[in-house]
Amino acid sequence: MTGRDTVPPPLTESRNPATHDLDELSVPELVDRMADQDRQALQAVRAAREDIAHLITMGVDVLRSGGRIHYFGAGSSGRLGVLDAAEVIPTFGVGPQVFVAHLAGGPAAMTAAVEEVEDDADAGTLDAIEVTGADLAIGLSASGVTPYVGGALRRARATGAATALVSANPSAPLAADADLHIALATGPEAITGSTRMKAGTAQKLVLTTFSTAVMVRLGRTYSNLMVSLTAVNDKLRRRSVRLLCEAAAVDADTAGRALAAAGGDTRVALVGLLADLPADRARHLLARHEGSVKAVLRSVVNPVPES
């Protein structure tokens, strides 16, 4: 028996007394029972509010200082990290180097189960080799015991990087390898051990909340509008025009002309419309104010001499 075998199983591996009769329920009853369980995912996220807010502040500080955010995970948890990192790019107009996802087993593990790689701590260490002391490394492990994630967190921490763990195990052993532990107390799954269910849902909620809030704090939205997208196809151009009509109270023709003058950059077009500035001036001011439309507008109202 190994030392790992003597560790008590995480709560995510416990049997759920509320679903013992799952295979005897009607289809509508199955839906109701699983929905009842899923409510616990949202409750767990709300209960972790302060820790999630702390993680957001860590992320903002890292990106403002020129660092990167890394996700490390295996299986369902790792796939959620890949999904979030991929979706940040078109939603907020950032490059692929800002949020970097590392999945145990590599790209092939996105569509096929490669279960054994999660036990390889050395693989996690190797995947974290690109983490620097300026970065934030976030481990994703529902059980809180995944060796791959542990290897990555220990390597990241050794470089001086900030580290965090998102798990569904309040007693996660890997918490010792992280500066911050977001413990999502989702409890036993409807299907014992199937953490792609409410544990996964809770992790997804944390990730989308984290990345979205970080981008909001960095000025990548205007109000609740997705202004950082670049209109590179017809669908996005139509979306940008609608957004500009809403934000600047102009008609579609005016919005379209502003967008064209801005080279498809929605923020440049919006600043131009709201502040009555040519596109090149709007672009210059956005660069000066870290891309924040509201910061530019405040500077136009209360100008500060340029150095």
Query: Residue 167 and residue 270: Cα distance in Å, rounded?
Result: 40
Measured from the Cβ of residue 136, the count of other Cβ atoms closer than 10 Å reads 26
N- to C-terminal Cα separation, the chain = 68
| Counts of helices then strands in the chain (DSSP H, E) | 11, 5
> Rounded to whole angstroms, how far apart are CA atoms 273 and 185?
47
> At which residue do the structure tokens 């369902």 appear?
76
At 303 the pLDDT is 60
Average predicted confidence (pLDDT) for the chain: 92
Contact 30, 22 (CB under 8 A): yes
Structure tokens at 244: 């500009």
Task: Kindly report the number of other CB atoms within 10 A of residue 31's CB atom.
Answer: 11
Kindly list the strands in the beta sheet with 69-73, ordered across the sheet, starting from the edge strand earlier in the chain: 99-103, 69-73, 136-140, 162-167, 180-183
42: Cβ contacts below 8 Å, ≥ 6 apart? 202, 205
* Per-residue confidence band for 1, with pLDDT thresholds at 50, 70 and 90: very low
pTM over 0.85: yes
Q: Residue 302 above 70 pLDDT?
A: no
Cβ atoms of 248 and 270 within 8 Å: the answer is yes
pLDDT tens digits, residue range 44-90?
999 999 999 999 999 999 999 999 999 999 999 999 999 999 999 98
Residue 2 pLDDT greater than 60, yes or no:
no
Q: Please answer whether residues 182 and 50 qualify as being in contact, where contact means their C-beta atoms are separated by less than 8 angstroms.
A: no
Task: Tell me what the mean pLDDT of segment 247-255 comes to.
Answer: 96
Q: What is the pLDDT at residue 3?
A: 46
- Structure confidence at residue 297 as a pLDDT band (50, 70, 90): very high
How many C-alpha atoms does 163 have within 13 Å on its Cβ side? 26
**Other CB atoms within 10 A of residue 50 CB:** 9
Of 119-128, 189-198, 226-235, 265-274, the range with the lowest mean pLDDT is 226-235
Residues with Cβ within 8 Å of 82's Cβ and at least 6 positions away in sequence, in order, are 71, 101, 103, 110
Selected catalytic residue, list 24, 118, 130, 189: 118
Would the pLDDT of 195 be above 80? yes
pLDDT (tens digit per residue) in 93-150: 899 999 999 999 999 899 887 777 888 999 999 999 999 999 999 999 999 999 999 9
For residue 295, pLDDT over 90 is answered with: yes
Which residue type is seen at 180?
Answer: L
Distance, in Å, from the CA atom of 155 to the CA atom of 128, rounded to the nearest integer, reads 6
Q: Which two tokens stand for residue 294?
A: 């509201």
Element (H, E) at 61: helix 49-64
Answer whether residue 8 shows pLDDT above 90.
no
Distance CA 196, CA 75 (A): 9
Of residues 29, 87, 115, 130, which has the active-site annotation? 87
- For 13, the token pair is 């591996």
Three-state DSSP class for 136? strand
Q: What are phi and psi of 10, to 5 degrees?
A: -65, 160
Between CA 34 and CA 294 the distance in angstroms is 43
Cα–Cα dist 107/171, whole Å: 30
**118 belongs to the catalytic site:** yes
pLDDT digits (tens, 9 = 90+) for 267-276: 999 999 999 9
